[in-house]
Amino acid sequence: MRTVRNCDVTNKKVLVRVDFNVPIEGGTVTDNTRIRASVPTLEYLLERGARLACISHLGRPKGKVVDAYRMDPVALELSRLLNRKVVKLDDCVGDAVKEAVTFAGPGTVLLLENVRFHPGEEKNDPAFAAELARGFDLFVNDAFGAAHRAHASTEGVTHYLPSYAGFLLEKEVSVLSELLNAPRRPFAAIIGGAKVSDKIEVITNLLQRVDLMLLGGGMANTFLMAKGIDVGRSLAEPDKVGLAREILARHSQVVLPVDCVVAPSLDADKEARVVAAHQVPPEFMILDIGPETVKMFADRLRRAGTVFWNGPMGVFEKDAFAMGTYGVAQAVAGLEARTVVGGGDSIAALQQSGLSDRIWHISTGGGASLEFLEGKVLPGIARLEDEQS
């Protein structure tokens, strides 16, 4: 894969696709993780005399201008992190943008307006992609979190400019490729989240590679049903029970919860109790894995050489049902293995526990990392590997 190391950027006008889709409250960025992740690439380019214009999406404005999704708060945070002025423009295409790019001096950082304000972005419209590229010399993609989207600013623009990967995208591909092709053994995966259908492809692909797979969250309920266990009123997918039964029959490395935290409803947290997985009351719902399961998972992980974790173990948003996710976070952070964590809730549990710095790699791309581990070709990456015309 071609990276920024493979090109001379001195005095070049460089369009950099970043993933600055960050939470904003009251006009302030509340979590700058994704912005910080691209700083090494931006600083590398600036130190070598490039003139930068960063472009990103923010939220889902669906091709229309939505003031709540403007990039102004991001510009302020990026300026603080780079310790230099960042000029925010009011659009990402047009003559005003090209003029600003043309007259920018070496070391300049422009932040273009939300690319999803234009319908041509998500449609990967060639004319819009060509307009994005107009006036630039090079394109650098450092937005791994958007690499699974064939959009104008991720895939389309590569047809008009020499294109390279930034350090963040390069590292994500390197780490996830190692998981698929050469993990340190034993290789364990922890998969949570609500539905089997959301992650069946990554589960199926990883089962060909892992020595251990621990399942939690709502998806584990479907697997419990496949073993003939009554899960009460829990979230489950009865239409996927047959598939779950087939997976359990073929793969002995799959481990399910042995106890769980249940309650009559999400709002009845004061009635929460721990029960054995096979003793869920008919009127109750499984909302988290229980303490015995956390202990069992931690014990099984202790010998691992590589661990991949994606997805919460319960309804993480509620304190009464977050202990399973926190427990797994503590177990993973305490390992000497190569640990890789992706997914918003999993990362949030690490951050809130102060454990992020004890993880070998935190992936910035939830959907992108899962699709990569499913074995899919990501359009935003494929063009950085192909010979370009």
Q: What is the pLDDT, as a whole number, of residue 221? A: 96
pLDDT of residue 233: 94
Identified catalytic residue from 13, 34, 51, 116 = 34
- The verdict on residue 283 lying in a domain is yes
Q: Are residues 68 and 106 in the same domain?
A: yes
Can 367 be counted among the known catalytic residues?
yes
Q: Identify each DSSP E strand in the chain by its residue range.
A: 13-17, 24-25, 28-29, 51-55, 87-88, 109-111, 138-141, 163-165, 187-191, 212-215, 254-255, 259-263, 273-276, 285-289, 306-310, 338-342, 361-362
Is there a single domain that holds both residue 277 and residue 323? yes
State residue 80 phi and psi, 5-degree precision.
Answer: -65, -45
Q: Which of 49, 63, 107, 367 is catalytic?
A: 367
Do residues 137 and 228 share a domain?
Answer: no
For residue 231, the domain's CATH number is 3.40.50.1260
The residue among 168, 192, 209 that closes a domain is 168
Look at residue 386 and tell me if it is in a domain: no
> Is 383 a member of any domain?
no
Q: Are residues 353 and 283 in the same domain?
A: yes
Task: Answer yes or no: is 163 within a domain.
Answer: yes
Angle of helix 366-373 versus helix 167-181 axis, rounded to 10: 40
Contact partners, residue 95, CB within 8 Å, separation at least 6: none
CA distance 106 to 48: 9
Q: Determine, yes or no, domain membership for 389.
A: no
Same domain membership, residue 189 and residue 162:
no
What confidence score (pLDDT) does residue 253 get? Answer: 97
Domain boundary among 130, 149, 168: 168
* Set 233, 344, 358, 376: catalytic member: 344
Q: Are residues 121 and 191 in the same domain?
A: no
Active site residue 344: yes
Domain check: are 258 and 348 in the same one?
A: yes
Residue 195 is predicted with a pLDDT of 83
By residue range, what is the domain housing residue 264? 175-373
Q: What is the pLDDT of residue 366?
A: 77
Cβ-proximal residues to 303 (8 Å cutoff; 6+ apart), any chain = 186
Task: Give the pLDDT confidence score for residue 377 in this predicted structure.
Answer: 86
| Same-domain pairing of 137 and 11 | yes
Same domain, 23 and 149: yes
Q: Are 61 and 116 spatial neighbours (Cβ–Cβ below 8 Å)?
A: yes
**pTM score, whole prediction:** 0.89
Q: Are 221 and 186 in the same domain?
A: yes
Q: How many domains does the chain have?
A: 2
- pLDDT for the residue numbered 389: 40
Pick the last residue of a domain from 127, 143, 168. 168
Q: Catalytic: which of 84, 195, 233, 300?
A: 195
- Residue 379 in any domain: the answer is no
**Close Cβ partners of 113 (under 8 Å, ≥ 6 residues apart):** 70, 71, 88, 89, 90, 91, 92
Active site residue 195: yes
- Domain co-membership, 13 together with 62: yes
| Same domain? 71 vs 215 | no
- Over the chain (389 residues), the average pLDDT of each successive run of 10 is 92 96 93 92 96 96 96 97 96 96 91 98 98 96 93 97 96 93 95 87 92 96 96 94 96 97 92 96 96 98 96 92 95 96 85 91 86 87 71
Amino acid at 147: A
